[in-house]
Amino acid sequence: MTQTFNLPIRPRRLRANAAMRRMVRETHLSPADFIYPIFVRHGEGIRQPIPSMPGIAQLSVDEAVKEAGTARALGIPAVILFGIPAEKDPIGLENFAADGIVQQATHAIKKAHPDLLVVTDVCLCEYTDHGHCGIVHGTEISNDETLEVLQRVALSHARAGADIVAPSGMMDGMVGAIRAILDEYNFTGVSILSYAVKYASSYYGPFRDAADGAPKFGDRKTHQMDYGNAREARREVELDLAEGADMIMVKPALAYLDIIRQTADHCPVPVAAYNVSGEYAMVKAAAEKGWLDEKKVVLETLTAIKRAGADIILTYHALDAARWLDSFNE
């Protein structure tokens, strides 16, 4: 004989079937939450696979336009461009050249897909022969000299048609310097998505392969944040907001969900989180081994990032996730 208990509350009623679970779900993921990263390089008809990031490739401008069109068709509102220059030098001259690879790609994508937002990475590491995020003297990065270069880069991207510029080098004062130059040249409508909270993380390894941007000496711990620090993140956010940031980035995402939550709780502007290359590569590698269900893990991970407080998620999974979301009824 089964004993019946008079339980006052039965939470399981709201988990009874897929329709009920969908209806009461607190966090809803959508392709509109994503920004899709694209790596652009010189040439034509090029899709150069990145071995450490299965499914992602370095693309020539014509192929980048196609990839951006795919993202747009899937309901993804924006792409972010990272450039691989033809040549590198101590300050990264192509980074702010009118015919630089990101400038070419920005112009071409906006011409083909005018309603798709183009975000551009504003940093030096992919363009310099030393691989660091700023102007180097000996082994020291000169913060204030770097700001002048970042101004030139951001202005060149705005002239090419960028909707949003995203300074990622963690230089002190970078947002204020960029806002000043954009406003001076009447690009007041160009937004700034600041990598305000970027940690010195080991999860960036595959990206450095993808963008050929690994430092030739030392590391980036003098400007990227120590991963043991949380209160410092709030200070960085407050400084960038005071300088004019329109949106704030936390990077990486998955190992920093607490920082995303903290930032979202106190930040009056949209919060973005970067689901970085190492996070992507780990899922891909495990899926290839058959150790996990890629679709389920990706959607769970992205939902967790949004649940933590991210309004926007930069992710290499964006195209697949957008396709999968239509059938995500669990």
Catalytic residue, candidates 198, 289, 296, 306: 198
For residue 310, give the H/E element and its range: none
Catalytic residue, candidates 66, 88, 110, 251: 251
Dihedral angle of Cα 225, 39, 31, 107, to the nearest 10 degrees: 110
CA Rg value for the chain: 21
| Residue 110 is a catalytic residue | no
Residue 202 has φ and ψ, to the nearest 5°, of -85, 0
Give the β-pairing of 140-142 and 135-137.
antiparallel
Q: CA 78: distance to chain centroid? A: 11
Alpha helices of 221-329 — where are they, by DSSP H? 231-243, 257-266, 277-288, 294-307, 318-325
Please list, in sequence order, all residues whose beta carbon lies within 8 angstroms of the beta carbon of residue 40, skipping any fewer than 6 positions away: 58, 59, 60, 61, 64, 81, 82, 83, 84, 101, 102, 104, 105
The upper half-sphere exposure of residue 220, i.e. CA atoms within 13 Å in the direction of its Cβ, equals 28
Residues annotated as catalytic are 198, 251
